[in-house]
């Protein structure tokens, strides 16, 4: 009966070697080179049995492990003959494994972050020139003063006496309609008072739409609002084309 063996995919010989060390739960600074070499060669044999392509890097590492193993098996010199500067045959391999482990852990952390930020959508930057506060469109008038004037018009509309009965009708007024009306007024005369725009407004809805039309024209830099002195009536003026 055939035995199915599941092989892990490794990115290279160092990846396989690190896996064997972690699986054996041994200290990376004190690798039992004989045991790890035998396991490494067994894994290479399984790769060949399963007709997997064995790259030259895996074979070079196998030869390196065998060389280190042979050096470790050589008889140690007597104490009086020992050299204090003796180099551990495993040292170079250990340094490579430590460095590879650092890169692998960093890549796994980046992979986790990629999984998180891959679900995040960013909005591309847009030009903001049209949204910057245009001081040339508002002269001696703050936005607070403009809002206060608009609020007073709303309160005046609410406080007006209403007849006990009236005809019910539906009239749809849009911002575009009011923009056309304001542009027509600016063509007929160079300026007019802000509150005069609301004299013929029938209800609160129309007042709000008219105010939005003024703000839209300010955004388009199609008009100028001005106030000659404090507490004076706010003026809406035609904007010169070259401004």
> Which of 47-56's residues contact partners 24+ apart within 8 Å by CB, and which partners?
47/7, 50/5, 50/7, 52/7
Which residues pair with residue 139 across a beta bridge? Answer: 226
pTM: 0.41
Strand, helix or coil for residue 71: helix
Question: pLDDT class for 51, splitting at 50, 70, 90?
Answer: low
What's the angle, vertex CA 223, arms to CA 217 and CA 224, rounded to 5?
A: 125
Question: pLDDT class for 2, splitting at 50, 70, 90?
Answer: very low
Residue 171 pLDDT greater than 70, yes or no: no
Question: pLDDT class for 68, splitting at 50, 70, 90?
Answer: confident
pLDDT per residue as tens digits for the range 88-130: 788 888 888 889 889 888 888 888 888 888 888 777 777 766 5
| Dmax (CA) of the chain | 121
Question: pLDDT class for 154, splitting at 50, 70, 90?
Answer: confident
Q: DSSP class of residue 221?
A: T
More confident of the two residues 169 and 217 = 217
Question: Which token pair is 76?
Answer: 């140690």
CA distance 54 to 37: 17
- Closest C-alpha to 10, from 199, 18, 102: 18
CB contact at 8 A, 40 and 16: yes
Domain architecture of the chain: domains with CATH: 13-75+85-117 (no CATH), 134-159+169-238 (1.10.10.580)
């Amino acid at each position: 009966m055939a035995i199915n063996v599941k092989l892990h995919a490794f990115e290279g010989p160092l990846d396989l070697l690190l896996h064997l060390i972690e699986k054996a739960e041994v200290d990376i600074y004190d690798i039992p080179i004989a045991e790890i070499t035998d396991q490494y060669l067994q894994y290479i044999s399984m790769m060949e049995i399963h007709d997997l392509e064995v790259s030259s890097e895996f074979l070079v590492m196998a030869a390196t492990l065998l060389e280190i193993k042979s050096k470790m098996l050589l008889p140690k010199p007597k104490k009086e003959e020992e050299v204090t500067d003796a180099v551990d045959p495993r040292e170079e391999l250990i340094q490579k494994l430590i460095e590879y482990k650092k890169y692998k852990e960093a890549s796994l952390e980046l992979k986790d972050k990629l999984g998180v930020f891959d679900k995040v959508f960013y909005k591309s930057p847009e030009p903001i020139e049209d949204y910057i506060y245009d001081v040339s469109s508002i002269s001696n008038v703050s936005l607070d003063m403009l809002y206060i004037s608009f609020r007073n018009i709303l309160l005046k509309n609410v406080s007006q006496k209403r007849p006990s009965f009236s005809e019910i009708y539906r009239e749809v007024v849009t911002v575009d309609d009011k923009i056309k009306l304001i542009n027509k007024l600016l063509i007929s005369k160079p300026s007019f008072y802000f509150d005069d725009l609301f004299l013929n407004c029938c209800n609160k809805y129309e007042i709000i739409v008219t105010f939005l039309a003024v703000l839209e024209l300010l955004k388009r830099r199609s008009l100028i609002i001005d106030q000659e002195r404090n507490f004076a009536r706010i003026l809406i003026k035609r904007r010169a084309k070259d401004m």
